[in-house]
Structure 1
Amino acid sequence: MKDHYIVLAGLGFATLIMAWLPSIAKKLKVSSPIILLLIGLAMHAVAIPLGWPDPLWNDRELMYFSEAIVIISLMGAGLKIGAKYTLKAWRKPLLLVFITMPICMISAYLMGSYFLVLSLPSSLLLAAILAPTDPVLAAEVQLDDPLAEKSPEDNVRFTLTAEAGLNDGIAFPFSYMAVLVAQAGSWAAFDLTGWVLDEFLLKIALGILIGLGIGRLIGYLFDRLHHVTGVKTFVGFLSLSLTIMTYGLSELLHGYGFLAVFFAGFSLRYYEKVSGDYKKKLHDFITEIEHLLLVVWIILFGGSIMNGVLGLTDWKGIIFALIFVVLIRPLAGMVPLIFLKKEKIKEKLAISYLGIRGIGSVFYLSWAFLQFDHFDYKQELYAITAYIILFSIILHGLTAPSIIAYFRGKAERSSDLEDKNEN
């Protein structure tokens, strides 16, 4: 029983710190995941009996836990995007999804095949799991208050929010590709046409349409129930219920649940007859749940590091992870943005650099191993992913707050100047 109380006290302490962590991190000019990781390392060092990964998680448990965090974060991302963003504003995140993401995948695949010398299915899987930017660890570089819709610093933060919301779902077909190639035994035996029609086109389209439909329907119900019956809804936990329901229904109806959840939040956010105050309450509740789960995940990740997950790959895996975070994503991000002549170079550099990797990659990896249990280099893939997450937490964690603060200050000065001109 004593261990039970130690665990409760330790987790309570860690989650209690989370109440002050955003302010502490802001003062220190670092991202909160860095501090959480240090807390996790310390908790492991003092031997709090949490049932630490040794050094790997069970695939199924890891998939379920990371899945929950990602869908909750995607709902939050959808609820952040307000109605002021025009089709023109969506050009940058769409460029990142349809140009930058494929470049990252091709680069990861080639390095996996010729530098790490992985098998074809494992190289494809490595490319697929590193495709999405992470909506969880990247939350601090995304839009925050959904009611604060003044002049965008938003050029940077909106782009990163929309990219994370979109590419987490659009990366799924490529994880399917790796699994299907592995199951087929070779590229020649792989049914490419079936993959394009089903896993790529149909499931993406269904995910988007189901999400938009559910978000619109829930918005309509919020409005009409109040006007017709007098029943008023103003509880934030409905955002969690909406997240779980949308994800489950979309997967049952053959759509991608990640896309459905993001677009459900996005659709509800755009529904004008639902009050802005309630939308903010929905957003704030789902964000707090996300923070709670993030505390537990990063603490356990710290324990996994202490127990030796990083030792499951050699120097090549370390070099690959560093190159991917420091060079491949920033350069791939600049490729489509460099041709946008009206955009400022500092904004382009920030957007291309802040391609944070994290928990979404872990979900895809554990999901793939559950679909096909005979992937080569399983432990090495987990270790490389852990290195990429660690490098991303450290490098982006030390620099992202200052970058975002710069653009936030610039936006506020621009907004103040506009207000003065109007007066």
Structure 2
Amino acid sequence: MKEHYLILAGLGFATLIMAWLPSVSKKIKVSSPLILILIGFLLFAADIPLPWPDPLWADKGLMYFSETIVIISLMGAGLKIGTRYNWKSWKRPLLLVFITMPICMVCAYFLGNYFLLLSIPSSLLLAAVLAPTDPVLAADVQLDDPDREKEYKGKIRFALTSEAGLNDGMAFPFSYLAVMVGQAGGWAAFNFQEWFWDKLLLKIVIGIIVGLVIGRGIGLLLIAFHRLTGIKTFDGFLALSLTFMTYGLSELLHGYGFLAVFFAGLSLRYYEKVSGDYKQKMHDFIHEIERLLLVVWIILFGGSLLNGMLSLTDWKAIVFALIFVLFVRPLAGMIALIGGKRESFKEKLAISFLGIRGIGSVFYLSWAFMQFDGFEYKNELYAITAYIILISIIIHGFSAPAIIGYFKRKTEKEREREQKEEA
């Protein structure tokens, strides 16, 4: 019984901190995931009897847990994006998805194959899991809420929010690619046409359509039900229900659920007949759930690091992680945005640099191991991914608040100048 009470006290302490963590994070200019991982270190060192990974998580449990956090975060990302962002604004995230992401994957593949000396399927899997910008750990650099567009036209926040929403689903075909190449035993026996038409095109299209239809359909239903019965069902809990329903239906209909969830939130956000206050309520509810799950995940992740996960690979993993976070992603981002005239060089550099990796990568890794148990270097892949996440949390944890704060102050000064000129 004593262990039971220690677990409750430890979890209560950790989740209690989340009440003040966002404010503390802004005050000390350090992102919340960095603070949470330090709390995880402390709880592990204090020998709190939580179910710490030893040092790896069970593939199935890790997949389901990380899957839940990611889809909730994707719904939140969709609800954050407001209607003032036109098609020209979407050019930046689309460039990041269709240019930056492939460049990052190609670099990760060749570094994995020739520097880390991984097999071809393992190198492909490494490239796929490192492709997406994480919608969970990157929450501190994304749009705050659906009303933020009224006060702050954040090019950087919008680009990172929409990129995270899009590429977390776009990475799925390449995880399938790694699995299918591994199952085939190499490139020679790999069925390219099946992968291209089914896993790349069909599942993406179905996922997007399902998300748009459900999001718009729920918007219509909310209004129609109120008009016909006079009953208001405007409860923030709907956002969570919509998340699980959309994800499950999309997967059953052979679509990518990650994309469906993001587009469902986006479609509902664009449906103007649903009041802005209710959109705010849905966003706030889903955001609170996301923060709660994030606390548990990062604390357990921190414990797994101290419990020996990082020792499952060698020094090359550290070098690889530093190269990927500090050079590959920023350079790939700058290449994608090089022709843009609407952003300054500093804005392009900020968008390129803040490509945070996190829980989405862990989901794809555990998912692939559940699909195919023949991957070599399983322990090494988990450890390399852990290094990437840890280094991303540390580097972006210190730099992201300062970068976002700089552009916020710059925007506020420009607004004040415009107001003075108008007066």
Asked if the contact 1:251/1:257 (under 8 Å) is kept, the reply is yes
How far apart, in 1, do the equivalents of 2:209 and 2:262 lie? 11
Residues 95-244 of structure 1 aligned to structure 2 (within 5 Å): 95-150=95-150, 152-244=152-244
The letter for the 2-side match of 1:263 is F
1:403-414 correspondence to structure 2 within 5 Å: 403-414=403-414
Which deviates more from structure 2 when the two are superposed, residues 151-160 or residues 125-134? 151-160
In structure 2, distance between residues paired with 1:160 and 1:153? 13
Equivalents in 2 of 1:210, 1:257: separation in Å?
9
- Write the distance in 2 (CA, Å) between the matches of 1:11 and 1:393: 21
Partner SS state of residue 148, structure 2: coil
Residue matched to 2:381: 381
Q: How far did 1:334 drift?
A: 0.3
TM-score between both structures, scaled by the size of structure 1: 0.99
User: What is the distance in 2 between the residues matched to 1:274 and 1:298?
Assistant: 35
One-letter amino acid of the structure 2 residue matched with residue 284 of structure 1:
D
Given that 1:153 and 1:408 are in contact with CA atoms closer than 8 Å, whether structure 2 keeps it comes out as: no
Structure 2 partner of 1:89: 89
Q: Contact 1:40 / 1:300 at 8 angstroms: preserved in 2?
A: yes
Question: Structure 2 CA distance, aligned partners of 1:263 and 1:182?
Answer: 31
Counterpart of 1:143 in 2: which secondary structure?
A: coil
| Displacement after TM superposition at 1:57 (Å) | 0.2
Aligned residues: 423
> 2-side partners of 1:255 and 1:269: how far apart?
21
Query: Who is 2:312 aligned against?
Result: 312
Residues 384-395 of structure 1 aligned to structure 2 (within 5 Å): 384-395=384-395
TM-aligned CA deviation for residue 193 of structure 1: 0.8
Aligned-pair Cα RMSD in Å: 1.0
Matched, 1:47 2:47: yes
Which AA in structure 2 matches 1:142? Q
8 Å Cα contact 1:137/1:359 also seen in 2: yes
Output the CA distance in 2 between the equivalents of 1:218 and 1:197. 30
Query: 1:311 and 1:153, CA in 2 relative to 1: closer, same or farther beyond 3 A?
Result: farther
Deviations along 1:316-370, one digit per CA (max 9) or x if unpaired, are: 1111111101110000000011111332011000000000000000000000000
- 2:350 and 2:265 map into 1 onto residues whose CA distance is 26
Residue 337 (structure 1) aligns with: 337
Please tell me the residue identity of whatever aligns with 1:54: D
2-structure distance, mates of 1:147, 1:80: 8
1:129–1:365 Cα contact (<8 Å) kept: yes
**Corresponding letter in the other structure for 1:114:** Y
Letter in 1 for 2:236: G
- 8 Å Cα contact 1:153-1:410 kept in structure 2: no
Q: Deviations over 1:188-223 (max 9, x none)?
A: 111101111000000000000000000000000111
Matches of 1:336 and 1:415, distance apart in 2: 29
Structure 1 distance, partners of 2:409, 2:145, is: 16
Using the alignment, how far apart are the partners of 1:416 and 1:82 within structure 2? Answer: 23
Shift of 1:151: 5.9
More moved, 142-151 vs 161-170:
142-151
Q: Secondary structure at the match of 2:258?
A: helix
Post-superposition offset of 1:152? 4.4
1:292 to 2:292 alignment? yes
- Aligned equivalents of 1:236, 1:256: Cα separation in 2: 25
Contiguous gaps of at least 5 residues in structure 2: none
Partners of 1:418 and 1:239 in 2: CA distance: 38
Which letter maps to 1:209? I
- 1:272 aligns with 272
* Residue deviations 1:284-313 (CA, integer Å, cap 9, x gap): 000000000000000000110110100001
Instruction: Measure the CA separation in 1 of the matches of 2:200 and 2:222.
Output: 33
In structure 1, list runs of 5 or more residues that go unmatched.
none
TM-score when scaled to structure 2? Answer: 0.99
Cα-to-partner distance string for 1:12-63 (whole Å, 9 max, x where unaligned): 0100001000111111100011110111000000100001000000000000
Distance 2:342 2:137 in 1: 29
Which string of whole-angstrom CA distances, capped at 9 and with x for unpartnered residues, describes residues 368-415 of structure 1? 000001100000000000000000000000000010011112222333
Q: Is the 8 A contact 1:151 1:411 kept in 2?
A: no
- Matches of 1:122 and 1:23, distance apart in 2: 41
Partner Cα separation in structure 1 for residue 221 and residue 239 of structure 2: 14
Deviations 1:231-268 (A, max 9, x none): 10121111000000000000000000000000000000
Q: Is 1:351 the equivalent of 2:348?
A: no
